[in-house]
């Protein structure tokens, strides 16, 4: 399975990338599965993605959750919560 990963703001900075093309096992079903694979990279990846409450998830530009399904060719984005006044 191939997924386009996009990272924004406070996630992009410590990881040094804004996007990546991932090749994942066909058993990958949800955003949580992708997150687990990214954390398994260790180092900055494990640290930056350690607290899921610190970021939001979108699949194919639709706000979702870690339970959101992913598919071959999906775009998965992790970004900090949006606040405003």
Domains of the chain by range and CATH?
A: 2-79 (3.10.20.30)
CA atoms of 48 and 70, how far apart (whole Å)? 21
pTM (global) more than 0.95: no
pLDDT for 40 equals 97
> Per-block average pLDDT, block size 10, for the chain (85 residues)?
94 93 96 97 96 94 97 96 70
């Amino acid at each position: 399975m191939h997924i386009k990963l996009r990272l924004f703001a406070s996630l992009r900075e410590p990881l040094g990338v804004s996007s990546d093309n991932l090749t994942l096992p066909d058993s990958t079903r949800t955003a949580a599965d992708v997150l687990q694979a990214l954390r398994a990279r260790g180092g900055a990846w494990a640290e930056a993605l350690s607290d899921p409450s610190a970021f939001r998830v979108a699949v194919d530009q639709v706000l979702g959750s870690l339970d959101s399904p992913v598919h071959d060719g999906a775009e998965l984005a992790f970004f900090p919560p949006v606040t405003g006044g």
